Amino acid sequence: MSAPADALPSGVPGLPALLEPATARLRLRQWCDADRAPFAALNADPEVMRCFPAPLARADSDAMAERCQGLIAAHGWGPWAVERREDGAFVGMVGLHVPAAALPCAPCVEVAWRLARAHWGRGYASEAAAAALRAGFEVLGLASIVSFTVLANQRSRRVMERIGMRDSGADFDHPAVAEGSPLRRHCLYRITRGEWLAHQAAVPQA
């Protein structure tokens, strides 16, 4: 996930009440203090952070959680904490935000995710990201949503495709990644509201 912007661009609404999407297995919710330790653990995991410049120190991870919490408090939505409904276990972070970086697609709303490795391989990323898309299109009324990652991140690219997003072909160099880094080149996926509606009609809903 790129660093989020503080202000929302024209056409991207804030909400008067807190939005917390849910699925059969997961709840996307506001952050709490108890999330910080497991979030720091996943941000310190080299495998989780393989497609990011470096793992995060505890202070940086806590600052990121606080930033996400503040965005949700300010706008009613944002990069949510994700918990498993059956036992309240912290799964990771999934949600919507406006990237602050000067990206080729800006201004835009990104759907992004970062899950603890213990929860990989269970379909949680796709399930939570699909819930975030639904919130973006049905509640926020967005015209389109993007997602992006380094070219080699096949795991995230498969999630993007499962939730109906398609590679736009508009690869770009991420301005927040150092020149010469193998992580600088990113692919850009996008889905419009019309494409999302068609995907909903084509895919059986749980």
pLDDT digits (tens, 9 = 90+) for 104-159: 898 999 999 999 999 999 999 999 999 999 999 999 999 999 999 999 999 999 99
CATH of domain 26-201: 3.40.630.30
> How many Å apart are CA 149 and CA 180, to the nearest integer?
16
Residue 40 and residue 62 in contact, taking contact as beta carbons nearer than 8 Å: yes
Predicted confidence at residue 205, as pLDDT, reads: 63
Give all strands (DSSP E) within 72-138, no chain letters.
Answer: 79-84, 90-97, 110-115
- Three-class SS state of 115: strand
Predicted confidence at residue 101, as pLDDT, reads: 74
Predicted confidence at residue 203, as pLDDT, reads: 79
Average pLDDT over residues 4-31: 90
**Environment class of residue 38 by beta-carbon count within 10 Å: exposed (0-12), middle (13-18) or buried (19+)?**
middle
Predicted confidence at residue 66, as pLDDT, reads: 98
How far does CA 191 lie from the centroid of its chain?
A: 14
